Amino acid sequence: MAARILLVEDDPSIREITTLGLTAAGYEISTAPDGRAGLALFRAEPPDAVVLDVMLPVLDGLSVARAIRAESSVPIVMLTARTDTFDVVAGLEAGADDYVRKPFELPELLARLRAALRRTSDASPAVLRLGPLEIDEGGHSVRRDGREVTLSHTEFRLLAELARRPGQVLTRDLLLDRVWGYDYLGDSRLVDVAIQRLRSKVEVDPANPQLILTVRGAGYKASRPDPGS
């Protein structure tokens, strides 16, 4: 079944040509010209991924991203006119999983969408444990002490990558490759912001993480299980 994409973009030309391109690539597209219409359409026909312009009339892209993220784990790819730290980081913090810089070419957007829609990179899904977390790769769900924790697709894949190799340092490049599908020159801010969001959901004290640790100058690692347990 073709994946359904919601495209929220105010410029009619971009909307039309992107619709043409994505349709030709085999996706099923619905479009909205402004933030409010986009959010309404998202709720009416939940898509498999959202392509969201940052600068939108009525309701801006960051607000739409926050609203979607509050109720769904769907992948969000942001279209940004600038690559300034502020724009990109603000978008990622609002809940976007990835971004494409304008002017983009269709293959770039397709690559980002494919990576975002990829469910899991592991051929044999398993149930992983990380401290109090129970990560079910097959069911795509995370429980903390038995209670469900809502993660976005990207956050889930990031957590699974780390939890699969407890105690090993994973470089940002490796994570960009495994989770986001960048094989060359990914933006390391994607990793850093996603780690922050992930920590805010799974750590007791996100400012003092116990499960997902930063290794200075290298990357991140999941904590090893306690030797005693």
Q: Which residue has the tokens 């942001």?
A: 78
| Interface stretch with other proteins, choices 56-64, 129-137, 144-152, 166-174 (CB under 8 A) | 166-174
Residue 127 found at the interface with other proteins (CB under 8 A): no
Residue 168 found at the interface with other proteins (CB under 8 A): yes
Residue 72 CB, nearest approach to other proteins (Å): 26
Q: Is-contact 7 15, C-beta < 8 A?
A: yes
Q: Is-contact 75 152, C-beta < 8 A?
A: yes
Copy the structure tokens of residue 204. 């007791």
Measure the CA angle with vertex 77, ends 74 and 78; round to 5°: 130
Nearer to other proteins, 70 or 185 (CB): 185
Alpha-carbon separation of residue 135 from 83, 144, 160, 164 (angstroms)? 34, 9, 7, 10
By C-alpha distance, which of 189, 11, 8, 22 is closest to 103?
11
Copy the structure tokens of residue 201. 């959901």
Q: Is-contact 148 141, C-beta < 8 A?
A: yes
Nearer to other proteins, 67 or 77 (CB): 77
Q: Is-contact 38 62, C-beta < 8 A?
A: no
Q: Which of 170, 190, 193, 195 binds other proteins (CB under 8 A)?
A: 170
Q: Which of 40, 105, 200, 210 binds other proteins (CB under 8 A)?
A: 105
Residue 196 CB, nearest approach to other proteins (Å): 16
| Interface stretch with other proteins, choices 112-120, 149-157, 171-179, 204-212 (CB under 8 A) | 171-179
Residue 165 CB, nearest approach to other proteins (Å): 7
Q: Which of 26, 103, 146, 228 binds other proteins (CB under 8 A)?
A: 103
Q: Which residues bind other proteins (CB under 8 A)?
A: 11, 13-14, 17-18, 20-21, 24, 79, 81-82, 84-85, 102-107, 165, 167-174, 177, 184-185, 187-189, 217-219, 221
